[in-house]
Structure 1
Amino acid sequence: MGTGIVANAAAGLPWHPGPLRAFTLAIWVLAVLMLATIGTAFLLHWRRHPDNARGYARHPVMVQFYGALPMAILTVGAGTLLVGRDVIGLHAAVVVDLALWTTGTIIGLGTSLWVPFRMITRHDHAKAVALPAWLMPIVPPMVSASTGALLLPHVPAGQARLTLLIACYAMFGMSLLLGMITITMIYSRLVHGGLPALQAAPTVWITLGMIGQSVTAANLLGAGAGDVLPAPYAGGLRIFGLVFGMVMGGFGALMFALAIALTVHAGRRGLRFSLTWWSFTFPVGTCVTGASALGTTAGSTVVHGLAVVLYVVLLGAWATVAIITARGAWRGSLPGPA
Structure 2
Amino acid sequence: MGVSTSSRLSALSSSLVSTLQSLGVPGGVPGYVKNRRRYTAVLPPAGPAWAGSLMGTALTSALLEIHGFAAGARAMLLIAGAVTIIITIGWLVYRSPKFTPVVMPAWAMVSLGLVSLGSASSTILADSLGDAVWWFHFGCCVIGGVLGLVTYVVYLRQLITGRAGTPTFSWGLPLVTPMVTATAGMRFHDWLVGTDVSGAPGADGAHEVWTTLILVLSMGAFLLTLLTAPVVFTRVYAYYLGPRSRRASHHRLEPMAAPTIWIPLGIVGQSMACAQLFGAATGWVRTGVAYGFIMCVVAIPVTLTAVVVHYQAALRGISYSPTWWASTFPVGALCLGVHWLSDSSGLGWLDQISVFLLVILLFHAGVATLGGTMAIIARMARRLRAVTGGRRR
TM-score tier (shorter): 0.7 to 0.9
Supply the distance in 2 between the matched residues of 1:186 and 1:144 (Cα, whole angstroms): 24
Alpha-carbon offset, residue 328 of structure 1 = 2.5
Q: Which has the larger radius of gyration?
A: 2
Report how far residue 333 of structure 1 moved. 6.4
Alignment partner, residue 175 of structure 2: 138
Letter in 1 for 2:79: L
Change in CA separation of 1:119 and 1:293 when aligned onto 2, cut-off 3 Å? same
Identity %: 23
- Measured after TM superposition, the shift of residue 84 of structure 1 is 2.6
1:271 is paired with a residue whose SS is coil
Name the CA distance, whole Å, in 2 between partners of 1:119 and 1:172: 19
- Residue 42 (structure 1) aligns with: 91
Aligned match for 2:114, one of 58, 73, 84: 73
SS at match of 1:77: helix
Unaligned residue ranges in structure 2 (runs of 5+): 1-54, 194-206, 246-250, 382-393
* Aligned 8 A contact 1:71 1:140 in 2: yes
The counterpart of 2:292, out of the listed 237, 245, 249, is 245
Number of residue pairs the alignment of both structures matches? 307
Structure 1 residue 122: deviation in Å? 8.1
1:205-252 alpha-carbon deviations (Å, 9 max, x no partner)? 1111111111111112222x1xxxxxxxx322x222111110011101
Residue in 1 that maps onto 2:100? 57
Q: Aligned equivalents of 2:380 and 2:269: distance in 1?
A: 33
The 8 Å contact of residues 12 and 293 in structure 1, kept in 2 or not, is answered as no
* CA offset digits 1:85-134 (Å, max 9, x no partner): 355x11110121111111011111111001222444583x7xx3321000
How many Å separate the matches in 1 of 2:127 and 2:72?
A: 13
- Map 1:140-159 → 2, pairs under 5 A: 140-155=177-192, 157-159=207-209
Q: Residue 166 of structure 1: CA displacement?
A: 1.1
* Cα separation, 1, equivalents of 2:221 and 2:183: 10
Contact 2:122–2:137 (CA<8 Å) still a contact in 1? yes
The corresponding residue for 1:163 is: 213
Using the alignment, how far apart are the partners of 1:93 and 1:176 within structure 2? 29
Deviation at 1:331, TM superposition (A): 4.3
Query: Residue 330 of structure 1: CA displacement?
Result: 4.2
The alignment's TM-score, normalised by the length of structure 1, stands at 0.85
Distance 1:267 1:201 in 2: 8
Residue of structure 2 in register with 1:318 after alignment: 365
Instruction: Give the alignment's Cα RMSD to 1 decimal.
Output: 2.1
Per-residue CA deviation, residues 2-27 of structure 1 (Å, 9 max, x unaligned), is: 111101222333xx1xxx10110111
Q: Please give the alpha-carbon distance, in whole angstroms, between the structure 1 residues aligned to 2:317 and 2:379.
A: 22
- In 2 relative to 1, CA 218–5 (structure 1 residues): closer, same or farther, beyond 3 Å? same
1:6, 1:314 within 8 Å by CA — same for their partners in 2? yes
For the 8 Å contact 1:288–1:307, the answer to whether it is kept is yes
SS at match of 2:56: coil
- On the 8 A contact 1:195/1:201 being kept in 2, the answer is no
Cα deviations across residues 244-265 of structure 1 (Å, max 9, x unaligned)?
Answer: 1100111012100111111233
Deviation string 1:294-320 (CA, Å, 9 cap, x unpaired) is 111111111111001111111111112
Matches of 2:228 and 2:157 in 1, distance apart? 13
Provide TM-score, normalisation by structure 2.
Answer: 0.73
Query: Relative to structure 2, which stretch is displaced further, 36-45 or 26-35?
Result: 36-45
Q: After superposition, where does 1:128-277 map in structure 2 within 5 Å?
A: 128-155=165-192, 157-192=207-242, 193=245, 194-223=251-280, 225=281, 234-236=282-284, 238-277=285-324
